[in-house]
Structure 1
Amino acid sequence: MTVAAQGGPQGPAGARPDGRSTRWDDHRAQRRTSLVRDARRAIHELGPGASMDEIAAVAGTSKSIFYRYFDDKAGLRLAVAEAVVAGMHRKLAEAAHEAPTPHSALRAMVRVYLQTIERSPHVYWFVTRTAIGGNGPDDGASGPVEALGAYLDSVITLVAEPAAQAAGVPARSAAAWAAGAVGFVRGTGEWWLGHTLTAGLTREELTDQITTWLWTGPVGVLHHGATGGPADPPDTPTTEKQES
């Protein structure tokens, strides 16, 4: 039996990667990323109900190009959802890591979430509203639901850490509170997003309110149960870094 037949350097098992194939894979990945960015820009401008034709027009290409890279609108929606949640998770993790105290970490994460949804509500609704309900046969809700589910699980872990530090308990003990906190922040933020003209609350005011509600409620209970005393007083807003 020859070396080639054994799968050696000349055989299939030892075949060297085709440089052209590698370059094509890199090009395809870059093009896909570019199309997702273009789609987000189109949705930001046109709204969550933008059609594939409209998205392609804003991107300066054809609908067939989007179908080549994403198969259908459901595939594009999933790609946008993954990009949105990955970016938001990264910002939340950075905010929590850079905060000097558990209270400021909680406040920073609330602020980041509100900043993100305020900057591009159309993109946010494009992902979340379809993931919740779907508007038609091509909406592909299951993909965004899975992307959002994984994102929410990871955010629960992030939020549980400052709560556990404040209460002096293991992070797993704060996980139930964190899950409720994430749902509360999301629900409040979405209400505010839909009522910005009538709510009478700025982003910073809502950030302060949400943080206070969360901090002086269940976190205080956790801390009291662990130490037998009241929770440490929160940082004052004037000591924290204000972001635009």
Structure 2
Amino acid sequence: MATSSASRRTDGRTARWAGHRERRRREFVDAALRAIAERGPEVSIEQVAEAAGVGRTRLYKYFADATDLQGAIADRAVELITAELAPVWNPRGTPTQMIQTAIDAHTGWLASHGNLYRYLTMHSLTARPGGQNAITDVKTAIAQRLTWLFDHYLREFGLDARVAEPIAFGLVGLVESSTARWLENPGGMSRAELAGHLARWVWQLLDGTLRAGGVELDPHRPLALPDSLAVPDGSG
């Protein structure tokens, strides 16, 4: 019986420590995000510790090494990006509104978190398990979501749904690469101007695909939404 009581006490301490450790890790990651925003993508561990109000050695009580911290930052960033891109996961309105809203969300996030985006492109490939790149993960999730949506509408219009995936991944690549380049070299173009150009290009590609199949869609008329906006199992 004594052994059982001791075991319960040990289990309780272990659970409390695990909860405390997870809370502190999250606090340190949030401090790292602040440091990245203020100091840039090449922020040092010392600067992260300074933002957290602790010494460098204190950080390493909660992270195995710099790579562990970088991986936690990447994971947290993916959570933030996913939340910001809600219009992509839940499209509403006319084709024009759907496209513009999604592009505004993407370009807006990138413009507001340029240093974090640069940090992720520099570090997340080696920091995350299996060498998964945080930016690539997000782009793939968006493209898979669009693939499902395009597949639905192409089938509704009686068109070849096999093109859904290539179009989806192509459009995501267009928007992401164009915005990333604009971030480094705006060339006097405002974010609103860039978003307007991207929305027009995206619609032209979609419209061209539909017209090739004999379908003319009014971009200013609301589309009937699928019965379920949940992505089917296995598609993202």
**Same fold per superposition (TM over 0.5):** yes
Q: CA deviation at 1:36?
A: 0.5
Read off the aligned partner of 1:212 and give its amino acid letter.
R
The yes-or-no answer on 1:57 pairing with 2:50 is: yes
Whether the 8 Å contact between 2:87 and 2:101 is mirrored in structure 1 is no
Q: CA deviation at 1:147?
A: 3.2
The yes-or-no answer on 1:224 pairing with 2:211 is: yes
Q: TM-score normalized by structure 1?
A: 0.75
Structure 2 stretches lacking a partner, 5+ long: 222-236
Deviations 1:141-190 (A, max 9, x none): 77664433332221112233454455445876411111111111111111
**What RMSD in Å do the two structures reach over aligned CA positions?**
3.0
Distance 1:216 1:43 in 2: 37
1:233 to 207, 215, 218: 218
Identity %: 26
Deviations 1:173-228 (A, max 9, x none): 411111111111111111111123xx2222222111101101112x12332344x1
Q: Which residue of 2 aligns with 1:7?
A: none
Q: Which residue of 2 aligns with 1:195?
A: 185
Read off the aligned partner of 2:101 and give its amino acid letter.
A
The yes-or-no answer on 1:153 pairing with 2:140 is: yes
Distance 1:194 1:141 in 2: 25
Q: Which residue of 2 aligns with 1:74?
A: 67
Q: Give the number of the structure with larger relative contact order, counting CA–CA contacts within 8 Å between residues 6 or more apart.
A: 2
Q: CA deviation at 1:233?
A: 3.0
Deviations 1:2-34 (A, max 9, x none): xx9xxxxx6xxx979822222222211111111
Task: Kindly tell me the number of residue pairs found equivalent between the two proteins.
Answer: 215
1:174 to 156, 164, 187: 164
Whether the 8 Å contact between 2:84 and 2:109 is mirrored in structure 1 is no
User: What are the equivalent positions in structure 2 for 1:97-136 lying under 5 Å apart?
Assistant: 97=90, 99-131=92-124
Stretch deviating more after TM superposition (66-75 or 166-175): 166-175
Distance 1:140 1:63 in 2: 19
Q: TM-score normalized by structure 2?
A: 0.78
Distance 1:92 1:35 in 2: 24
- 3-state DSSP class of the match of 1:68? coil
Whether the 8 Å contact between 2:94 and 2:219 is mirrored in structure 1 is no
Whether the 8 Å contact between 2:36 and 2:115 is mirrored in structure 1 is yes
